Amino acid sequence: MSLMLKQLFSLFLSQGLRSLAVSFFSFFSAVYIYRQTNSLAAVFYFFLILYIFKMIGVGLAENWALKFGLKKQMILGHFLTIVTGMFFALSQKMTFSIWLAAVCWGLAIGFFWFGRHGLLAKFGGKDSWGQASGWAGAIETLMVLTGPFLGGILINQFGYLGLFLGAIFLTILGMAVLKPAPEEKTHKDVTFKEIFRLLLTHKKMALTYFSRGGIEAVYSGGLILYLFFLVKKEIALGGFFSLSLILVAIVNLLIGKWVDKKGKKELIGFGAIVSFLVWTGRLFVKEIGGFLIFDVLERIGGIMLGIPLDVLSFQKAIDGGSTGRALLFRETAITAGSIFACLLLLLLSFLNLPLSFSFVFGSGLSLFPLLIAKDEKTG
């Protein structure tokens, strides 16, 4: 491991612990909200609120990183994740707290990931961003692969309160191990007006990020609920997702090295095609084994897209002379896609269409990255 990666190890370890904690929310919050409210629409409203406040969090993180530094945005993200767990725990007695959990979770995502991406762009090394992203993804996956199954066990043994307390404990650990990570501030203030102009002048890249956010929302809301209705129990749902994560850590490292040596265009194209085939295939699968195969393929396709897009963001941050502008552009486009997908899911709910219809949304959004796969500027 290079000196650069050793310096960033605490950053990656903190990310991994937080991701393990948040996996408890990510894989089970849709099921929990549905159990509490008996409403599909409530689930989709929850995620709509979450993504709206993620957008707000990203904007605040960009402003505050200029004054206080990027690592402090990550620490604030950790703190808000802890508060999210508290509101989820309170919602067992006071259902209204679910919406407060959505607000805090959205803000937490905005603050944490703006800080994380900013630090990696600053310290990752121009010729090794892919490798750094690969290591980050591998460590995160190794931490998270037990998360869904462990979450299912906690729910089975202690109920959802055990799940939420477990998430709080892991987030506290994630905050503690972040201390040795380097600190850096951004140096240019960026406005949303400037970002909106960039979204219009860089439509292909904006639509690519937009599609990633949309697919994330369809996965978190539509697919997870569909699988829960198929397997019936949280522990079975957790086992499904843990099993699908086993191969992903190795793939992260291999793809990260490929990006640094071979470039990004080929992987983006392959990833888009894999994702399209997976979402289309899910429309025709009825057995859990088929969904497991597709989930593994979806994660591999997601890595093929995710690492090159991360590297592109870091490249734009350094070449363009503004980390804040590059990251705000990326996160604004991603979050807009998530909000759009939540609105589609709400429409699906109001029209009483089956959840499997959401896979059509995923299939269509998967093709957007092909817009930049042949772009000479992609590299």
Domain ranges of the chain: 3-378
pLDDT of 156 above 60: yes
Of 159, 174, 113, nearest in space to 310 by CA: 113
Residue 116's alpha-carbon distances to 97, 113, 119, 264, in angstroms, are 28, 5, 5, 21
Rounded distance, CA 265 to CA 165, Å? Answer: 42
Residue 128's alpha-carbon distances to 12, 24, 103, 123, 125, in angstroms, are 15, 31, 35, 10, 5
172 Cβ contact partners less than 8 Å away, ≥ 6 residues apart: 78, 82
Convert the pLDDT of each residue in 79-118 to its tens digit: 999 999 999 999 999 999 999 999 999 999 999 989 888 8
* Architecture field, domain 3-378: Up-down Bundle (1.20)
Give the pLDDT of residue 66: 84
Rounded distance, CA 356 to CA 371, Å? Answer: 26
Convert the pLDDT of each residue in 184-222 to its tens digit: 887 677 777 888 888 888 899 899 999 999 999 999 888
DSSP string over 217-243: HHIIIIIHHHHHHHH-SHHHHHHHHHH
Rounded distance, CA 196 to CA 202, Å? Answer: 10
Q: What's the 3-state SS for 329-348?
A: HHHHHHHHHHHHHHHHHHHH
Convert the pLDDT of each residue in 329-345 to its tens digit: 889 999 999 999 999 99
Question: 165-185 b/e with 16+ CB inside 10 Å = b?
Answer: bbbbebbbbbbebbeebeebb
What's this model's pTM, rounded to 2 decimal places?
A: 0.88
Mean pLDDT value of segment 229-247 = 78
Give the tokens for residue 147. Answer: 């998360």
pLDDT of 246 above 80: no
Residue 8's alpha-carbon distances to 139, 183, 186, 271, 309, in angstroms, are 12, 11, 18, 27, 20
